[in-house]
Amino acid sequence: LIEIIAHKQCPPILMDDPLVYFDPCRTGKAVEILQELSQRFQILFFTCHDYPWILRMPDRQQIGPIEVYCDKH
């Protein structure tokens, strides 16, 4: 869908916890799709969950997670 909408441009893809309700099987398939898309698009994936697959991504040295903490009073 992003390829149709983008019309040969490469806009960043912003995702806010898109896998939160996925079971392990769907998560695995979604990760494969995200890895494929990341070859052509910049993906910004926001989450408050500790997904272990993020640490196993092949190009992690280029994209790696950035941890942001919120101190709730």
Report whether 30 contacts 19 (CB < 8 A). yes
Question: pLDDT band for position 72 (50/70/90)?
Answer: low
Which helix (DSSP H) or strand (DSSP E) does residue 13 occupy? strand 13-16
Give the C-alpha separation, 28 to 3, whole Å.
22
Give the C-alpha separation, 8 to 21, whole Å.
31
Residue 53 pLDDT: 62
* Type of residue found at 47: T
Encode pLDDT of 27-66 as tens digits.
889 888 888 888 888 888 888 777 666 656 665 555 566 6
Q: What are the angstrom distances between the C-alpha of 13 and each of 23, 27, 37?
A: 22, 18, 9
Q: Above 70 in pLDDT, residue 9? A: yes
